Structures are given as structure tokens and as C-alpha cells.
A and B are shown apart, each in its own frame.
Chain A
């Protein structure tokens, strides 16, 4: 079984300051991990993806995430927030090697990122 915990339901930062969105996962096997972003009333856009290659993954729009197996974490960061980053962010795990269970992605509950001017 796999699960995802996003530790903060809301994060508020000032424009130009760093962003940290926290995510911990649980998986029986070697997981694939993702971050998706959802702007208001829009679909989901893939920010980045980890699939057992480099542990530091660079994504679009200046975001990156680091896979830390010892901490079972996959936190999302960005050095400098822009107003356009305000959105809902979802940490996602996929465990297609588990041999059973749902073949879909498992989503966290989301973190709402607020950017203060």
C-alpha cells in the first residue's frame, strides 16, 4: 500500500522569498514520485517527476524537489516565489511495481500556496 502526507494544508510566503512545500510518502517498493500544480478552476500540470535516477529533480518554473529515502520525503522548493506560483500543489506517489492494488496515482490532500505581495 502507498500513501502520501502533505504536512501543510496552507503555506504563505512573500514574493521573492523561498518556497518549501513538504511531502512524506509511504511505499512498499521503489516508488515514483511527482509534484503536480493546479491553478484555480484548471486541470493539473506536472511540475516534476522522480523515478530512481538523480535524487535532486529539477522541474518547470524554477521548482525542484529532493528525494530522501532515509526520511521518506520529497519536499518541493523554489528559491524565489512569484505571484503566479499561487496555486494548489499535490504530492503524488505511484507504485506500479507493487503487483496489485489500484493502478492509479495516489495523491496527497494538497498544499495551498499563497504569495503575499
Chain B
């Protein structure tokens, strides 16, 4: 049973470009969470999604960031017009239905904005 998969593992963008980060949850998991880890910091919750539905986006920046979890395919975290401050590690986690505390994390995508 494959774990949570994220790609790419490393992503380099120039200021003003778009970054798209992908997350495939564990098989059988219906909930996806995105977290951001800034250097020397813990992870900060960004958004919680089910298939075709955003449950909680209270941790998402109000502009330039969006997330989706379509009926088919991976969850996508999209950052438009990236700035240097967006450089961070972005982690995805998934959990089975009814167990939101039991989150399994992917290896993360390290975004560097030049």
C-alpha cells in the first residue's frame, strides 16, 4: 500500500511564475490536508479538502493560493505569482474517513523561489 505521494519533490520558480504542487493520498483515504513549513518553523495548517469540496481553508493566504481535490486525480495546491516568501516545504497529509487525527504525511515538496 503506497503512502502519500507528492510531486515534484523539488520545485524552482522565478518570481511571478505559478507553482503547482500535487498530492496523491493513501489508497482508501478521502481527506487531504496541506501544510506549509517555513525554515526553522513547525508546520502550519493551510487547507483541508475532501473530494470536490473544501472543508476548511482558514489557514490559506487570502490571495494567490488555491487548492482543489477533484473527483479524479491528485489534490493540487496552486500558488500564483510566486514571491520569495513562498519558499518553503509544502506537506500533504491524508486521513481515512472518520479519523481526522490520523494523518499520514507525504515527503513534501520543497519550493524555491528565485
Contacts and interface: CB of A to CB of B under 8 A. Distances in A.
B45 A96 contact: no
B1 interface: no
A42 B107 contact: yes
B56 A43 contact: no
B91 A43 contact: yes
Interface of B: 4, 33, 35, 40-46, 48, 55-56, 58-59, 91, 100-108, 110
9 contacts: A4-B42, A42-B107, A43-B108, A44-B105, A102-B45, A103-B100, A107-B43, A107-B44, A110-B40
A49 B44 CA distance: 19
* Band of interface residues on A: 20 to 34
B33 A108 contact: no
Nearest to A33: B101
A105 B103 contact: yes
Contacts of B48: 102-104
Given A42-B107, A43-B106, A94 B101 contact: yes
Given A102-B59, A103-B48, A104-B56, A44 B101 contact: no
Contacts of A94: 100-101
B101 A104 contact: no
Given A102-B58, A104-B48, A106-B45, 4 more contacts: A43-B107, A96-B100, A104-B59, A105-B33
